[in-house]
Structures are given as C-alpha cells and as structure tokens.
C-alpha cells in the first residue's frame, strides 16, 4: 500500500463536489444513483443484578444489531435519511439502555466495517474495469496519522512511590518520550505529501485494490509505506475508471456508494446491507431526518 503523490488523480471528483452535508458533498455528484448503507451497532446484554468494583455489569452476550432492531424497540421509523439521535431519542452519544438488559452502543462514524466492505467488493468489482487500480482517500486528521499524538505515563501501585522508584520512572519517561517523538516525526515526514483537498476534509491518497479489500482482515497487515500502520477504512474510494465512488465521511454513521443504477440496485437488493436509495441532494445531517422528531 503506497502513497499516491499525484493528487491530480482526484481532480475529476473535486470538480463534482456537492454541498457539504449532502450526499453529493460526501461522495460527489453526477452519478446515476446512490445508496446509503447504515453502519451496524454493537449491543451487549448485561447482568444488572451484579455490579463490579468499577460499577459495571458483567456482559452475558454480545451481538451486532441493525438500526431496524433498535427502531422496533424505540418506535422510531426507519427511512433513507434516518438519524441515530432522532431514532433513539438521545441528545448525545451515550449508550441506549433497555430494561431487558441490552445496552446498545452508537454506530461507528467514519468507519465502514471491513466485513461489510469485503461483501461490497463483490458488487463494486462487477461495476468497474479497473478493480486492481483504486485510489483511497484517508483523512489526515486522525490522531495516529497526524504525527501529533501525545504520550501519557502514570504510576500504578498500592503504595506511594519511593524516591528511587520516582527517579527510575522519570528516566523511563524521558526515554519513552524520545522514542515517541522520533516515531511521530517519522510519521510526519513520511506523510508530508500534497493532500487531496476534498471540501472540509483534507486527505492523503493511497493505492488499493478490490482483491485486497475483499479480505476482511486486510487492516491487520495494512501499512502506509514502512512507517505508519493504517487502522482506518478509507473516507473515499474510487477506481481509476471513475465508475463509482464509496465514501465514509468521518462524522457520518453511514456509508454512501454512488455509481451506475445497476450497481446501486445490486447493493439495495443485498440483505447483508441495511441500505436505502438516496439522491445527491439528500440531507445527511441530523436535520435531514424529518420523520423522527
């Protein structure tokens, strides 16, 4: 996986950027059709009769839920522009807790689950003539990729540290800080390339292939050059023939795929995805959900 330094490979898409907060502002305009794929949520069933020393409840089982599972409990309505906060009645990003012990966590934002991405590659491959030549745009603001992360070191022990232990800890901190600073400087140097200036989201570009993404474990081995691990799914992805675009905006809990009508129809018909048809002018902000008040 290599950095693409020729950002002109994204010029065609920049010319098609729509209004921020819309489908077109997320994935680009001018495609025949678009689909919105809701990110699934994780849920845990707790034993609320037991509380541990951290005031947590033991987890009896875990599951992956669809938004429709949540809607059946909240009475909310699922529709193409549904928003999590409107569906759940939450005013923040806290968990949704049900009386039968289930705790549902908010959907991931800016992250398209690799298992779902792998499933989607089956349809994407049918819709492009260049499956081995993809351009991926990854937001440069992620903490682990900005070269600006901080190191925190603390003391953990039942007793107060002795003078010798404090001195040893101070030496350790100095040593680890030097290592950390060197690693961050290496990341900044490695990623000091011209960025793809998508509106409001400056990204760097990487080369990828559909066969690579068809393996849901690809992130376990993904590295940018020889310096930085890649722990993020792409914010945008397109093939060299420009036949489609996939986008997971960092603040959205859904992923948009835009391309031919045949591609979008195939995605909508695949029950592995909780997907809905949307238009390029569709409002993806919280205010776009006019059904759930």
Helix, strand, coil tally for the chain in percent (to 5): 30, 25, 45
CA atoms within 13 A on the CB side of 119: 14
The total of other beta-carbon atoms located within 10 Å of residue 121's CB is: 20
Predicted pLDDT at 158:
64
Count other Cβ atoms within 10 Å, centred on residue 208. 22
Closest of 119, 69, 106, 95 to residue 251, by C-alpha: 106
Which residues pair with residue 59 across a beta bridge?
46
pLDDT digits (tens, 9 = 90+) for 218-277: 999 988 876 678 889 999 999 999 999 999 999 999 999 999 999 999 999 999 999 999
Nearest to 34 by CA among 281, 202, 280: 280
pTM: 0.88
Q: Can you tell me the distance from the alpha carbon of 43 to that of 39, in angstroms, rounded to the nearest whole number?
A: 13
Give pLDDT, residue 49: 80
DSSP symbol at 283 = B
pLDDT at 162: 81
Give the pLDDT confidence score for residue 157 in this predicted structure: 66
Angle between helices 261-269 and 114-126 (to 10 degrees): 140
DSSP code at position 287: G
Segments of the chain with pLDDT less than 70: 146-149, 155, 157-158, 184, 186, 189-190, 226-227
Q: What distance in Å separates the CA atoms of residue 45 and residue 29, rounded to the nearest whole number?
A: 42
Whole-angstrom Cα Rg for the chain: 22
Closest CA to 191 of 181, 172, 204, 207: 204
Helix (H) or strand (E) holding 85: helix 84-88
Query: Tokens 């906060």 identify what position?
Result: 85
Please, which residues have CB within 8 angstroms of residue 163's CB and are 6 or more apart in sequence?
none
């Amino acid at each position: 996986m290599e950095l693409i330094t020729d950002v002109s490979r994204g010029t065609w898409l920049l010319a098609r950027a729509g209004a921020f907060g819309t489908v077109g502002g997320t994935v680009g305009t001018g495609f025949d059709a678009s689909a919105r794929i809701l990110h699934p949520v994780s849920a845990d069933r707790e034993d609320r009769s037991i509380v541990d020393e951290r005031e947590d409840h033991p987890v009896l089982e875990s599951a992956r839920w669809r938004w429709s599972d949540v809607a059946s409990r909240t009475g909310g309505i699922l529709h193409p522009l549904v928003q999590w906060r409107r569906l759940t009645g939450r005013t923040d990003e806290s968990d949704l807790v049900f009386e039968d012990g289930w705790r549902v966590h908010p959907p991931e934002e800016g992250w398209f689950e690799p298992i779902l991405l792998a499933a989607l590659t089956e349809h994407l491959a049918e819709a492009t003539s260049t499956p081995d030549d993809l351009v991926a745009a990854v937001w440069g603001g992620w903490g682990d990729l900005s070269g600006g992360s901080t190191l925190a070191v603390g003391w953990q022990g039942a007793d107060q540290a002795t003078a010798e232990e404090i001195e040893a800890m101070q030496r350790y901190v100095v040593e680890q800080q030097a290592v950390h600073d060197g690693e961050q400087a290496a990341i900044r140097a490695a990623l000091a390339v011209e960025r793809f200036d998508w509106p409001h989201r400056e990204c760097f570009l990487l080369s990828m292939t559909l066969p690579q993404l068809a393996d849901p474990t690809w992130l376990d081995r993904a590295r940018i050059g020889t310096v930085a691990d890649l722990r993020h799914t792409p914010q945008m992805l397109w093939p060299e023939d420009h036949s489609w675009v996939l986008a997971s905006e960092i603040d959205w809990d859904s992923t948009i795929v835009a391309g031919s009508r045949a591609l979008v129809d195939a995605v909508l018909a695949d029950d592995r995805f909780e997907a809905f048809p949307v238009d390029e002018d569709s409002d993806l902000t919280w205010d776009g959900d006019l059904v759930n008040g």
